[in-house]
Each structure stands twice: as C-alpha cells, then as structure tokens.
Structure 1
Amino acid sequence: MKQFSPSCERNKESILTVLQEVLPASGVVLEIGSGSGQHAAYFARALPQLEWQPSDVAENLPSIRAWRAEAGLPNLREPLLLDLFAEPWPVTSVQALVCINTVHIVSWPGVEKLFTGAGRLLASGAVMFVYGPYRYSTRPLEPSNEEFDRWLKARDAQSGVRLFEDVNALAHENGLMLAGDRAMPANNRSIWWIKK
C-alpha cells in the first residue's frame, strides 16, 4: 500500500529549498503526479502555511493516502484522481502548481495537457514549478541523463528527457513566463514560470 521512493528521499530537501523561495505565502498548491506521496507529506509538514493538494492516477492514490494518514497533517488534503487527459481537472482554484519527475515520464501529448491545464487553472501571478532532468539545445546532455533517457525510452517509447526549449515554448503558449531555471543535484533542474 505505502510505497517508498529512494529518489524522493534524496531530492526532497533540495527541492524544498527552492519551493520555499518560489511558492506563495498562503493558498492551495496542486501537486500533479504525487507518486508515492512522500513529497506531499514532507512538503506539507515543512510548509504549514500552505494547503497541499496531492493528485495522481488511480494506481498511486492508495500510497498517497497511506503517507497522508501517517503524517496526520491538517494542511495535507485527500489526494485527487487527476488524469491529464480527463477534462475538466477536479480542482477549480489553486495558487500554485508543482510537478516533480513527471514531465519525462508522461507522453508528449501528456506534457501538452499539463501546460494547457495549468494555463487554464492558474490565475495571473501564480507559479508553476517543475523538477526533473532536461536537455538543452545549447549543450550536450550529461552522460547520466543520456543513460536515463535510453532507459526511459526502452520502458516506454513515448517518455524521455525533454528539450527545455520545447517545454518552455509550450509554457509560453499557455501564458506562463519563465521566472527561473536552476541546476539541482544529480543533473536535475528546478524550473518555474509565472502566469501572465
């Protein structure tokens, strides 16, 4: 029932440092692709001024619920069933959107749905934050990410390390303006946009 992700355990502190900087002082944060639920429990505890709304596909909800039950936090909400392709999304108003290690897992049409959904959902001034590996047209992909990209594509041909410029163009098309792009441990990036 309760899943454990070693990568979540490794990256939670470094991600939190950026979230503390970019998230609003109050309001609801929608986390898309909450996975095991570890991040939701950790961030909700560290950011008590925010309401943390986890979400994911059906198969991951039991683990998220288990982490939520164990945490017992008043600001950690019951997870929502959210399929990027199912419209409308089951939430109508949030002050920020967080999406960790999801963009390289879902198909490109899924990434498009993520950004069109974010563009519709977020009000002017709201933040969209993503974390994960990215490739850039201006420099070679790190060997570890080349290997990871091969592994992803062998597992699912529609997934893979995305080109930053493509993702940023998609954000821009949906009214999201680049506000930050920061190098993180293990050749990952924290990238965030502000809704116009």
Structure 2
Amino acid sequence: MTSSKPFAPACERNQGPILAVLREYFPDRRRVLELGSGTGQHAVHFAPAFPDALWQTSDVEENLSGIRMWLDEAALPNLPPPLTLDVTGKWPDARFDAIFSANSLHIMPWPAVEQFFSGVGRVLEPGGILAVYGPFNYHGAYTSDSNRDFDGWLKQRSALSGIRDFEAVDRLAQNIDCRLVKDHTMPANNRLLVWRRQS
C-alpha cells in the first residue's frame, strides 16, 4: 500500500461481516451500484466475491482519485472506473439490480437522505436489492452508549448530520416501493438493512 492511497480502518474491520451478509443477496446480481464508495476498499474486497456482477463505485468528485488508486491496484475486470455521483445532483442514466452503501446516511443532511432514496427509486430495477450499512436508532432511542457518543461527535462536526431513525429511513424506502427483507445485526452496534424493490 502506497502512502498516498487512502485507508479507512473501519472498512478493514467491517468488510468481512458485511460480505458475509451480501453473499446471501448478491450472488444473482449483475449490476451493483455502490453509493459513497469512500476510499474504494469495500469495492476491491467485495467485487471478487461476485465475479459475474459489474461493481460500479461512485462518490463525490474529491474522493474519486483515492478510489481509482485502489481500483487500479486491484485491476479487477468487474470494477469499472468510479462515477461522480452526489446524491443531491445528477444520477446516472443506467439501471442497477443492486445498490449498496455503507456509513453514508448519518453524514448527510436529512434532505440529502431523502434525495438518496429518491435517486435509488430512479435507478433500482424492480426486484432489485438495496443494502445499507451503518448505525441506526430505533423509536428515537440509541442502541448503545457508543452510538450516543458517536452521534454527539457527528453533530459537533455538522449540526445537520447524525444517526438516523430506522423508522424514518424505512418510510423513505417504502415510498419507492422497497420492502424490508431483513434488518441484520452487525458488529460495533451497526446494522445492515436489506430491502427488495417490488415488481
């Protein structure tokens, strides 16, 4: 690993447990869009597990150079160059049968979370899978003291960010005709929410 390549320790820790869940839902997927690919670490770890799927990374422009470093080093045939994608802006014209995002909803303002789901509604095919990883509150309550502390840290960075309520997020998913398949318990008080879009 070169010193200039971005590295997120959290990705290194959570990629194994996330992949174990994605293996249940992604084996028959052919076009996966990863929203908010961050460093690119998840993509190079997950793409080899689904060799028949094109794994399309995406993020805001300033993160793309770091993602390209990981993709170039991995040189995997199913990892095309990353897309510039801000959920509040233009979305690709392409369609996907799976969408994955990790640790994204709590760093966006709530209107951007709404636009995240609106955009998913435009590009996710009927029968498609939406998988979102991160911390969530339930009935307005934190699931752990560490999540409460993390939420405080997020709000210090930006008053508009913060851990989202599962119920509010699930309503946005339902609005685009996605129904919850399973809410997976993950390490470090995180969840992996999996929805399927209705036909």
Question: TM-score, length-normalised on structure 1?
Answer: 0.96
Q: Which moved more, 1:66-75 or 1:137-146?
A: 137-146
How far residue 175 of structure 1 moved from its aligned partner, in angstroms, is: 1.0
1:165 matched to 2:148 = no
Aligned pairs for 1:35-184 within 5 A: 35-87=38-90, 89-137=91-139, 140-184=142-186
d(CA) in 2 for partners of 1:49 and 1:157? Answer: 41
d(CA) in 2 for partners of 1:154 and 1:26? Answer: 39
Counterpart of 1:20 (choices 19, 23, 40) is 23
What 5-or-longer segments of structure 2 have no aligned partner? none
How far residue 124 of structure 1 moved from its aligned partner, in angstroms, is: 1.2
User: CA deviation digits over 1:71-121, x for unaligned, max 9?
Assistant: 01000110000011113x124211100011101111111110111111121
Q: Which moved more, 1:185-194 or 1:119-128?
A: 119-128
Q: Alignment partner of 1:92: what SS?
A: coil
Q: Number of aligned pairs?
A: 195
Question: TM-score, length-normalised on structure 2?
Answer: 0.95
RMSD of aligned Cα (Å): 1.2
Q: Alignment partner of 1:59: what SS?
A: helix
The ranges of structure 1 where at least 4 consecutive aligned residues each deviate by more than 4 angstroms after the TM superposition are none
d(CA) in 1 for partners of 2:122 and 2:173? Answer: 12
Counterpart of 2:10 (choices 7, 17, 21) is 7
- Which residue of the partner structure matches residue 190 of structure 1? 192
